[in-house]
Amino acid sequence: MKPALSLMLVLLLPAPAPAPAADQAGQVVERLQKFYDGVRDFKAAFSQEYTSRVFGTPRRSQGFLYIKKPGMMRWDYRRPNRKHFIVSGKVLYIYDPELSQVVVDRHFISSELSAAVTFLWGRGRLEKSFRISLSQRADLQRPDAWVLELVPRGPARFRRLWMVVRRKDAMVVQTLLEDPGGNLNKITFSKVSVNVGLRDDAFSFTVPPGVDVIEVPAPPGGG
C-alpha cells in the first residue's frame, strides 16, 4: 500500500471511543486500592480547612498524620491548638490538653465513618462501601490528579467524600468530606513518606493523670 493511501486511511478511520466515565473511575479505584494495599505505614504533614455552611469562614489547622497496618492511626494537631486523635486497634482516643480531657471510643472500627479510612489499613474494598464516580468539582481539579466522588452505599455520618488521587502513583493527596449539614472538611497532605518503619509504640496512649475521661457509649445493639 502506498504511504499516501495508508496515511489517508488512518485519517479517515474513526478514533477509538474514550472509555466510559464509569470504567475510568473503576480503573482509578483499582490503582488507588493497589497502591494502599502495598503500603505498610506512612507519615505526612497535613493542613485542614473546615468550612461551616452557616458561618462560611474557614477554620484552619495543621499537624502530622501517622498510619500503620493493621489498624493504627495518629493525628497530631499542632496549630492553632494541640490535640491528638489516636487509633490503636479498636479504640479511638481524642486527647485535648487544653481542656484536660480524653474522649475514649472503644467501638471506633465498627462506626460508619471508619469505612472511609480502613482501606488505608488493607481492610475491605472501597467499591463495596461506596458508589464511586469521577468528579468535575472545580475547586478540586488539578492537571496531575483525578478526582473521585464517593457516596456511601449505606447509612453514614457524611453525605459524600471526594478524593484527589495523584496520577503518577495513585496516592491520595487531598480529601474533601461533606457532612449531613453541608459543612465541608478539606484535608491536604504534603511531605508524604511511605513504608518508613513506624514503631507500634508511636500509637500507644496512656491517659495522663488528672484529666477527665469521657467514654463513648456502645452503638445500639452492640454493632
DSSP secondary structure code for residue 33 in this structure: H
Predicted local distance difference test score (pLDDT) of residue 158: 86
Domains detected in the chain: 29-218 (2.50.20.10)
Residue of 127, 165, 129, 159 lying closest to 147 (CA atoms) = 165
Residue of 62, 60, 59, 58 lying closest to 46 (CA atoms) = 62
Predicted local distance difference test score (pLDDT) of residue 115: 65
Give dist(CA 181, CA 68) in Å, integer.
Answer: 32
**Contact criterion met (CB below 8 Å) for 165 and 173:** yes
Q: Count Cβ atoms below 10 Å from residue 168 Cβ, excluding itself.
A: 7
Please tell me the chain's helix, strand, coil percentages from 3-state DSSP, rounded to the nearest 5. 25, 40, 35
Give dist(CA 142, CA 145) in Å, integer.
Answer: 6
Predicted local distance difference test score (pLDDT) of residue 54: 85
Q: What are phi and psi of 61, to 5 degrees?
A: -150, 165
The pTM of this model reads 0.81
Splitting the chain (223 residues) into consecutive groups of 10 residues, what average pLDDT does each group show? 37 38 84 91 95 88 93 93 90 95 86 66 79 94 95 87 94 93 94 94 92 88 54
